[in-house]
Amino acid sequence: MNPIVISMSEFIVMFLVIILIVRLLKRRGIFNDSHQQVFDRLVTEFALPAIVFGLLATTSLRAEWILPVLIVIGAVLAILLLAWGICRIFGTSPATTGSIVILSAFGSTYTVGGPVLGAVFGSQSQEVALGQVIGTFGFALPFFTLGILIAAYFGLKEKGEHISVPIFLKSYLFSPIFLAFWLGLIASLLFSTLQLPGAAVFSEVFLDFFLVIRHSLDLLVWIAIGLLLRPVRLRTLIPFLTLVVGIHMLLLPALVFGGGYAAGLPVMQQQVAVIISAMPSGAIAAVIANRYGCDGKLAAPIVICTYLISLVTLPIVLMLTTGI
């Protein structure tokens, strides 16, 4: 069996086992529905801001890597518009629209993308470094700005609340994720780009800290996904799952490939950009959708299904891009 498939299978099995344990604990009354908001807030108010700050503060964007990042951002924006347009045509509810839009555009570049690139190219390779840059600036940057705005907008619209733009923006601009985002960008500029004195000490101290937070985030997100799960009718799930898989796992990497080919990207950069774009939908996106009032109960099974489907689609993408 392909070693990449084995590695991904182990990761997905661990993911599913934790979700199963959460479901069993909920059945026994140890977890209940009131805990959902607790874990959602732990993710969005604590772990995620720390990860956002850590990724940005320790990631340096090289001049030669700006073009693949811009191509990925352009593809993500196109997918956001396409997913929104399809939902609008079919008249889906605001909550469902918000979930489908962000699941279609944003994938598990952090939790799955890094390990996959490390297994293919080596953990210390340039491909892994580029993958982190594309994941941070190509996906995390639009997700933690535009993606959260989309989830919050459709969540408020679902509730029928009046959307006051000044109040809405004020709430967003002072949210922990947004503050961590800009503080991380400033730290990245000072320590990674300008290499101010103390940069090496900063990286050494914070890398270990963020490694701990990373593992904590994975666990918190998986528990939140387990709590979100509810029975969903197949006739409801399958159309939306098909839409997300088609747009996110097939069209998005195709757009990135087309953009890279048209721009004449070097082979290595194009390979990494396409592989990162082919990741399953982000579990964090499902938690964010639920946290801001979108349809988290639909998003959770879609995320799980895309993880399982990626066992088929990712090896095909790897074979087409690298020959592995």
Average model confidence (pLDDT) for the chain? 84
- Supply the range of the domain harboring residue 98: 3-322
**Can you tell me whether residue 233 is helix, strand or coil?**
coil
Q: What are the φ/ψ torsions at residue 159 (nearest 5 degrees)?
A: -75, -10
Quick one: average pLDDT of 109-135? 82
pLDDT at 10: 77
- pLDDT of residue 69 exceeding 70, the answer is yes
Range with the lowest mean pLDDT among 163-177, 233-247, 254-268? 163-177
Instruction: Check whether 79 has a pLDDT greater than 90.
Output: yes
For 280, which DSSP code? P
What's the pLDDT at 197? 62
Q: What total of structural domains would you count in the chain?
A: 1
CATH number at residue 262: 1.20.1530.20
Q: How far, CA to CA in Å, does 300 sit from each of 24, 251, 254, 265?
A: 17, 21, 25, 35
